[in-house]
Amino acid sequence: MNILTEKELLEIFKKTEALLSGHFLLTSGRHSNVYFQCAKVLQYPEYNKNICAVIANHYAGFKIDTVIAPAIGGIVVGQEVARQLKKRFIFAEREDKKLSLRRGFSIKKGERLLVCEDVVTTGGSVFEVINIINQSEAVPVGVGFIVDRSKGKVQFGVHQKSVISLEAISYEPENCHLCNENIPFIKPGSRKVV
């Protein structure tokens, strides 16, 4: 399979409206000139397959028993990477605000796991999954994720591979240059954004 270039990836993100340019009010209350919603691109299995191939290809030579992801965003990524690597796939989900293994999923002592996620901003969920692996006396081999929004700042202390880096730039409303230019803002998800 051909591995996508960064330019091809960006084209896919724009075509599927996963990546939008404009003037946006983010859920944090801050303003931004770009808006990114990974699920918009991953809703197409063919794109998901091609994007996850970058991660699967990267980890093809590693000794991995199982792929694991935090719910919900990581599931479509982990499932596809596991399918391509022909490995078992499990996920951790939140119960009382804490990620844990449910549904009879378990990790054996010494098992080697690859953690997958869609977007890393602070990496909180991935750190929690690595914690679950360590508590099981298993081995976190690496982390594979689609978008690094931390500009390489988040380091998991194991091998890591992101498909693309998209820096998250946002402004306090009072310092927003787009507001200063009287460009109306849009709250993504609340109405059609084109």
Binding mask 4-33 for Zn ion (x = CB under 5 A): ---------------------------x--
- Kindly tell me which residue out of 158, 178, 186, 193 binds Zn ion, with binding defined by CB under 5 A: 178
Q: Is the dihedral of CA 161, 164, 165, 171 positive or negative?
A: negative
Q: Could you tell me the smallest distance in angstroms from the CB atom of residue 22 to Zn ion?
A: 10
39 vs 169 by CB, closer to Zn ion? 169
Two tokens, residue 28: 């944090």
Q: Could you tell me the smallest distance in angstroms from the CB atom of residue 31 to Zn ion?
A: 3
Q: Beta-strand (E) ranges in 97-150? A: 98-101, 112-120, 139-148
- 3-state secondary structure (DSSP) of residue 99: strand
Binding mask 134-173 for Zn ion (x = CB under 5 A): ----------------------------------------
Are β-strands 139-148 and 159-165 bridged in parallel, bridged antiparallel, or unpaired? parallel
81 vs 176 by CB, closer to Zn ion? 176
Q: Would you tell me how many other CB atoms lie within 10 Å of the CB of residue 191?
A: 7
How far is CA 155 from each of CA 143, 148, 164, rounded to the nearest angstrom? Answer: 10, 11, 15
Amino acid identity for residue 102 in this structure: R
Q: Could you tell me the smallest distance in angstroms from the CB atom of residue 49 to Zn ion?
A: 37
Q: Would you tell me how many other CB atoms lie within 10 Å of the CB of residue 89?
A: 19
Are β-strands 159-165 and 88-95 bridged in parallel, bridged antiparallel, or unpaired? unpaired
29 vs 104 by CB, closer to Zn ion? 29
- Kindly tell me which residue out of 73, 123, 176, 188 binds Zn ion, with binding defined by CB under 5 A: 176
Residue whose pair of structure tokens reads 């298993």 in the numeric block: 138
**What is the separation, in whole angstroms, between the first and last Cα of the chain?**
32
Binding mask 91-130 for Zn ion (x = CB under 5 A): ----------------------------------------
- Kindly tell me which residue out of 12, 179, 186, 193 binds Zn ion, with binding defined by CB under 5 A: 179
Q: Could you tell me the smallest distance in angstroms from the CB atom of residue 189 to Zn ion?
A: 17
| Residue nearest Zn ion, CB atom distance | 176
Residues that bind Zn ion (CB under 5 A): 31, 176, 178-179
